[in-house]
């Protein structure tokens, strides 16, 4: 497309999306704080794998250490910067790339949670866009290597949803969507905030489950009590999202109202959700974990405050109670300090 692109945060999602841009001839510069990863990309390229032979490829690219970002001052400015960092790193990452943006350049939040407001406080709302990546399921087995655990979704599920904060369809939103589309299916949405909260419902009912239980997504899906905790987490987040006025999208093709019905005793709704959880657990890598589960394995800080913590905070604003989300926040924080406490029973104990 002829644009200069920066990926600020070449973790699993940033590397996967940026890698496919490189494979399609785009001008991409990775910026990351993992020295070995940066060196590996510069020396040998970025190695990408998945569940099929067709996904295996190595793309040659350029990566900068955080201390070398100042080199961008000698070059043409950045047209599009994708911030793909953990939520708690959003603000400093935005400050890092801000001086190198073109006059009409902008920043795309390619992250979990809801970070557009943090970015806008630094660069202004006119330079902010959001992109939700749902069911991309990627991890970093090592430096210079990104692996996709789940299947390529294609027409079965739209992975990337790109939107402007003001909700209008714009040429730049369409351009960003096409860039993400090198990796998998995409659309431009007029409902960024509803899409964001819908993804938050998905994340808040899966990420902390893996972190606090120590189990893979597949193992969680096979346990009836753990599935019940997931349903409670999602139902609470859905109630808060609706109170906030968000237009929630379907979850895995199921109307969000089904979660509320399930907890109100609707056996058909409960069975529909359970069947979906079980079927999703059968897809992809049986040992695959969402990002928070991966964080625990690697001894990193999680995004629990920006995920379930946000659900709990918003609930208090509307006078709502979220006991299971409150409990999972405490459980994850406890496990962050002592990983040996991660057990399925810790999570099952949250059931009312």
Structural domains in the chain, sorted by start: 4-190 (3.40.50.720), 199-348 (1.10.1040.10)
Q: Which residues pair with 8 in a beta bridge?
A: 31, 83
Q: Do residues 234 and 261 lie in contact, with contact meaning Cβ atoms separated by under 8 Å?
A: no
Chain centre distance of CA 340: 26
Single pTM value for the model: 0.92
Alpha helices in the chain (DSSP H): 12-23, 35-44, 90-97, 116-123, 171-180, 192-204, 207-213, 217-221, 224-243, 257-263, 267-281, 291-297, 308-317, 323-337, 344-348
Per-residue pLDDT of the chain (352 residues; tens, 9 = 90+): 789 999 999 999 999 999 999 999 999 999 999 999 999 999 999 999 998 999 999 999 999 999 999 999 999 999 999 999 999 999 999 999 999 999 999 999 999 999 999 999 999 999 999 999 988 889 999 999 999 988 888 887 899 999 999 999 999 999 999 999 999 999 999 999 999 999 999 999 999 999 999 999 999 999 999 999 999 999 999 999 999 999 999 998 899 999 999 999 999 999 999 999 999 888 877 888 999 999 999 999 999 999 999 999 999 999 999 999 999 999 999 999 999 999 999 999 999 8
- CA dist 242 and 248 (Å) reads 7
Nearest to 350 by CA among 326, 320, 319: 326
* The two three-digit tokens of residue 302, written as one number: 């999680």
Q: Could you give the CA distance from residue 338 to residue 154 in angstroms, rounded to a whole number?
A: 40
Q: What is the Cα–Cα distance from 336 to 330, expressed in whole angstroms?
A: 10
């Amino acid at each position: 497309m002829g644009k200069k692109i920066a990926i600020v945060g070449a973790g699993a999602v940033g590397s996967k999306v940026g890698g496919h841009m490189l494979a399609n001839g785009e001008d991409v510069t990775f910026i990351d704080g993992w020295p070995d990863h940066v060196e590996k990309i510069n020396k040998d390229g970025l190695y990408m794998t998945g569940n099929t032979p067709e996904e295996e490829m190595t793309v040659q690219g350029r990566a900068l250490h955080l201390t070398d970002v100042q080199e961008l001052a000698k070059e043409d400015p950045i047209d599009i910067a994708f911030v793909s960092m953990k939520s708690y790193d959003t603000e400093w990452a935005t400050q890092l790339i801000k001086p190198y943006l073109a006059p009409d350049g902008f920043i795309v939040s390619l992250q979990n949670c809801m970070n557009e407001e943090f970015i806008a406080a630094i660069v202004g709302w006119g330079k902010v866009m959001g992109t939700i990546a749902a069911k991309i399921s990627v991890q970093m087995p090592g430096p210079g290597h990104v692996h996709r655990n789940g299947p390529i979704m294609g027409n079965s599920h739209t992975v990337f949803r790109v939107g402007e904060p003001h909700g209008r369809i714009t040429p730049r939103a369409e351009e960003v969507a096409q860039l993400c589309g090198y990796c998998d299916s995409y659309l431009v949405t007029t409902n960024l905030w509803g899409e964001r909260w819908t993804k938050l419902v998905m994340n808040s009912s899966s990420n902390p489950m893996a972190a606090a239980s120590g189990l893979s997504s597949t193992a969680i899906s096979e346990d009836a009590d753990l599935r019940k905790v997931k349903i409670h987490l999602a139902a609470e987040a859905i109630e808060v999202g609706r109170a906030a006025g968000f237009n929630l999208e379907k979850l895995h093709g199921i109307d969000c109202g089904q979660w509320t019905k399930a907890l109100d005793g609707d056996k058909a709704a409960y069975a529909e959700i359970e069947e979906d959880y079980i079927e999703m657990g059968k897809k992809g890598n049986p040992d695959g974990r969402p990002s928070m589960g991966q964080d625990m394995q690697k001894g990193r800080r999680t995004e629990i405050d920006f995920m379930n913590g946000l659900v709990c905070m918003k609930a208090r604003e509307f006078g709502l109670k979220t006991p299971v989300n409150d409990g999972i926040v405490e459980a994850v924080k406890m496990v962050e300090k002592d990983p040996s406490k991660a057990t399925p029973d810790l999570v099952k104990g949250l059931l009312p």
